[in-house]
Structure 1
Amino acid sequence: MTHTAHFLEVKNLKQYFPIRKGVFRRTVGYVRAVDDVSFHIDDQETLGLVGESGCGKTTTGRTILHLLDPTEGEVFFMGGNVRDKLRDDPREVRQKMQIIFQDPYGSLNPRMTVNEIVGEAVRYYGLCSKKELGDYISEVLLRCGLLPEHRFRYPHEFSGGQRQRIGIARALALKPNFVVCDEPVSALDVSIRSQILNLLKDLQEEMKLTYLFISHDLAVVRHISDRIAVMYLGKLVEMTSKVEFFDNPLHPYSHALLSAIPVPDPARQRQHIILEGDVPSPANPPEGCRFNPRCKYVMEKCKKEEPPLIEVGANHFVACFLHDK
């Protein structure tokens, strides 16, 4: 089923987790981790998905890859529905869509050597002969900034940055087209972060990759993204180009996120916007706009109706009644 001109398109995606209680484990409610999210990513583009911890960014990434089955909604990838593609030829989809996990410690099997970690899927998909496997893995490791002799070591023998490079090598060894980068630098030292980000940018150019880059750090997202989507409590609240987002943010939540970025010049103090209250629970989101309990511009309408994500400028989408024309 061909459908879309976009490389990847997400339509009305929902991911609800049931809350079960009592002896009979009856479902008493749902955690609405991802609630009606739609966006697209073009070929060789990087979309940065940002928001505070617990807003549903990682769940969105995993649901797009169908590591979690969507409650509702559809994902179209390279012209076809991912659900249909997985039914017809799961191997092809799994090879073309990969993920780099957040935790370089927990995502690698401590009992396997690097050779086994990177080579396992390469063998499964038959990307090269048994004779060529060692050379192929060495080549992938070199490309990711590691040495061929690292093949025979175990994960505990590496630093955090090197482990993340192994995670990147494992994902890219399969020659994917689309990679979900799930906070790939948040567990690393600041000095290592820029190296890994530059590596990801170089590999994107070299291998013609498309990224969904998930992060809570706007400085990191600014460095790598072409467009930025802001998520709050399972919903997208703003989406636009990187330049437009940093020059002209429209949603009150985007203003608060941007005000938290440290300024390197002590003479220029940025006015911090302190949000009142805590993030509401996704199991019991507020009525109307999800951000209304913490918003200083809140109107009566915000408490009753949910603002739709509408285009207010050229490719600048926002879900806020302040910008409702």
Structure 2
Amino acid sequence: MTQGIHFLEVKNLRQYFPIKRGVFRRTVGYVRAVDDVSFHIDDQETLGLVGESGCGKTTMGRTILHLLEPTGGEAFFMGEEIGVKLRHDPRDVRQKMQIIFQDPYGSLNPRMTVNEIVGEAVRYYGLCSRKELDDYIAEVLSRCGLLPEHRFRYPHEFSGGQRQRISIARALALKPKFIVCDEPVSALDVSIRSQILNLLKDLQEQLKLTYLFISHDLAVVRHISDRIAVMYLGKIVEMASKVEFFDNPLHPYSHALLSAIPVPDPKRQRQRIILEGDVPSPANPPSGCRFNPRCKHAMEKCRKEEPSLVDVGGGHFVACFLHCR
């Protein structure tokens, strides 16, 4: 890749959903799920995207992949604009960029065997001959911790962790370079989560993969990510390396999220920061800083002006007037 070009770069990405009312279904407003977001991910890096439910994390991942057509902005993959590339060579883009969904049962066709689920796209893209297909699928399943005989079973015959391994195998079968992991362990038992996380880390090292890892669990993100981006109401409010973020969080919202992480020590107490009020509606976000109605540090400027995401040093970005006046 050319020096200076990021593996994945998002510029001013927006995803607005129209609100329609009345007999004639006129558009009366928009839900601003993703609103003017920019960031990048380097080759073989994992960027963890965290935030409360409904902040736009999943929408962000699907918009980058153009599973949802963006309202505005651009996303570049290996120096090429994804939307333009999709129009000229959609097969190449879809093969190199995959997604692992949150619910492994809901994302797998219950009427197809594992062999059919994993092999469907492999046959479509012609990655191997018919004679080699069964061996190739068995190899992919084995890499994901499944047995060759699992190929002939249906999704309902597996546990939640095994179904997520099937979802991972389906994504890996096309030999992608970039994978959006959309809360891949949130629907699993706590005892299984570490196994799936370690599997994803091992696969990344072996196959030189790049991840956008979406989660609401900071403990999970800490385990797998290289950098962390915090999202609130459609905006990224802080972004830094994992070490910098946990050692020196800057945004008040980040402080609140970190205070909610359980401490596995009954003798050690953490001062919990309780945010007041509810999350504002993305259809009618507050003026100025979107976090200002719930922030105890809010100033008059916060209610009138929207802070930009700026680098305060060492690649630590924050959108807060407390740190960038």
Give the structure-1-normalised TM-score. Answer: 0.99
Equivalences for residues 76-155 of structure 1 within 5 A: 76-155=76-155
Task: Note the 1:221-260 alignment, pairs <5 A.
Answer: 221-260=221-260
The aligned runs of 1:1-325 (5 Å cut-off) are 5-325=5-325
The residue type equivalent to 1:121 in the other structure is A
List per-residue Cα deviations over 1:215-235 (Å, max 9, x = no partner).
000000000000000000000
In structure 2, give the amino acid aligned to 1:70.
Answer: P
Q: Provide the C-alpha distance between the structure 2 equivalents of 1:183 and 1:324, rounded to a whole number of angstroms.
A: 32
Separation (CA, whole Å) in 2 of partners of 1:233 and 1:79? 28
- For the residue of structure 1 that corresponds to 2:206, the secondary structure is helix
> For residues 266 and 298 of structure 1, what CA distance do their matches in structure 2 show?
34
One-letter amino acid of the counterpart of residue 255, structure 1:
H
Letter in 2 for 1:230: V
Q: How far is the alpha carbon of 1:3 from its aligned partner?
A: 10
User: Per the alignment, in what secondary structure is the counterpart of residue 38 of structure 1?
Assistant: strand
How far has the Cα of 1:4 moved from its partner?
5.8
Rounded to whole Å, the distance in 2 between the matches of 1:172 and 1:67 is 18
Q: How far apart, CA to CA, are the structure 1 residues paired with 2:81 and 2:234? A: 22
Q: 1:106-148, CA deviations, whole angstroms, 9 ceiling, x for partnerless residues?
A: 0000000000000000000000001100000000000000000
Cα deviation, residue 313, structure 1: 1.4
Amino acid at match of 1:153: R
Cα RMSD, aligned residues only: 0.9
Tell me the CA shift for residue 79 of structure 1.
1.2
Q: Secondary structure at the match of 2:151?
A: helix
State the one-letter code of the partner of 2:299: M
Q: What amino acid sits opposite 1:22 in the alignment? A: G
Q: Is the Cα contact below 8 Å between 1:4 and 1:76 reproduced in 2? A: no
Q: Which amino acid aligns with 1:226?
A: D
Deviations 1:224-266 (A, max 9, x none): 0000000000000000000000000000000000000000011
Q: Give per-residue Cα distances to partners, 1:151-193, cap 9 Å, x unaligned.
A: 0000000000000000000000000000000000000000000
Separation in structure 1 between the aligned mates of residue 318 and residue 258 of structure 2, nearest angstrom:
16
TM-score, normalising length: structure 2: 0.99
Figure out how many residues of one structure are paired with residues of the other and give that number: 324
Residues 78-130 of structure 1, C-alpha deviations (whole Å, 9 max, x = no match): 11110111011000000000000000110000000000000000000000001
The SS at the match of 1:99 is strand
1:24 Cα offset (Å) = 0.2
| 1:71 Cα deviation after fit | 0.2
